[in-house]
């Protein structure tokens, strides 16, 4: 079947089987390997993408559900100013991501950024809860997110003055 959707801001049409999962379409058909493949059961979060601004595990989404959707992967998000803020926060806190969880963690933070301006620790925990990170402690990721919002608010205040 032919399916048309928006991918990282570009209208995209593919020919695929209806049941093929989005993770495989991205990685195998479209060469977007930033999205990682882990458990394939919706548990690890390494395959997270944004679909219509919602965080979704791409390993669970069949092609036939993609028509007309607006999909953002880590490749698209890395071109945004929000990505630069997140990158700055990771550098500032000295936290590195191994690459396996990086797309999911970054897009989880992106989703939180677009939904709130001053998240509580509980909200940050909830935002990261769909992501399994084997290398970093949860606490260090929380500190990075707090720093992201500090940077965001600093930039906002600088614009006002
Ligand atoms: S690969 Fe999709 S949640 Fe693990
Ligand atoms: S940094 Fe390696 S899994 Fe998160």
Distance 96 CA to ligand 2 centre (A): 8
Distance 116 CA to ligand 1 centre (A): 25
pTM of the shown model: 0.93
**How many Å apart are CA 78 and CA 90, to the nearest integer?**
14
**Which ligand has its closest atom nearest to the C-alpha of 48?**
1
Instruction: Enumerate residues 6+ apart whose C-beta is below 8 A from 56.
Output: 48, 49, 50
Substitution candidate for ligand 1 out of 26, 51, 57 with most atoms within 8 A of CB: 57
pLDDT score at 35: 97
**How many Å apart are CA 48 and CA 68, to the nearest integer?**
19
pLDDT score at 127: 94
6 DSSP β-pair partners: 11, 70
- The stretches in the chain having pLDDT less than 50 are none
Give me the domains of the chain, ranges plus CATH numbers: 2-73 (3.10.20.30), 81-160 (1.10.150.120)
pLDDT score at 136: 82
**How many Å apart are CA 24 and CA 18, to the nearest integer?**
12
pLDDT score at 156: 85
Q: At what angle do helices 138-160 and 102-115 cross, to 10 degrees?
A: 40
pLDDT score at 27: 98
pLDDT score at 159: 79
List the one residue out of 130, 150, 128, 148 whose CA is nearest residue 139.
128
pLDDT score at 138: 85
pLDDT score at 146: 97
pLDDT score at 87: 97
pLDDT score at 131: 83
């Amino acid at each position: 079947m032919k399916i048309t959707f928006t991918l990282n801001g570009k209208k995209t049409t593919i020919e695929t089987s209806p049941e093929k999962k989005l993770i495989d379409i991205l990685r195998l058909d479209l060469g977007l390997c930033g999205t990682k493949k882990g458990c394939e059961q919706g548990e690890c979060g390494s395959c997270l993408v944004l679909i219509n601004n919602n965080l979704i595990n791409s390993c669970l989404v069949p092609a036939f559900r993609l028509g007309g959707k607006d999909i953002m992967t880590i490749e698209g998000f890395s071109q945004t100013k929000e990505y630069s803020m997140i990158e700055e926060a990771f550098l500032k806190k000295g936290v590195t991501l191994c690459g396996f969880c990086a797309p999911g963690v970054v897009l989880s933070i992106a989703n939180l950024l677009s939904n709130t301006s001053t998240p509580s620790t509980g909200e940050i925990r909830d935002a990261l809860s769909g992501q399994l990170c084997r290398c970093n402690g949860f606490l260090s990721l929380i500190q990075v997110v707090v720093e992201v919002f500090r940077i965001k608010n600093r930039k906002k205040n600088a614009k006002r003055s």
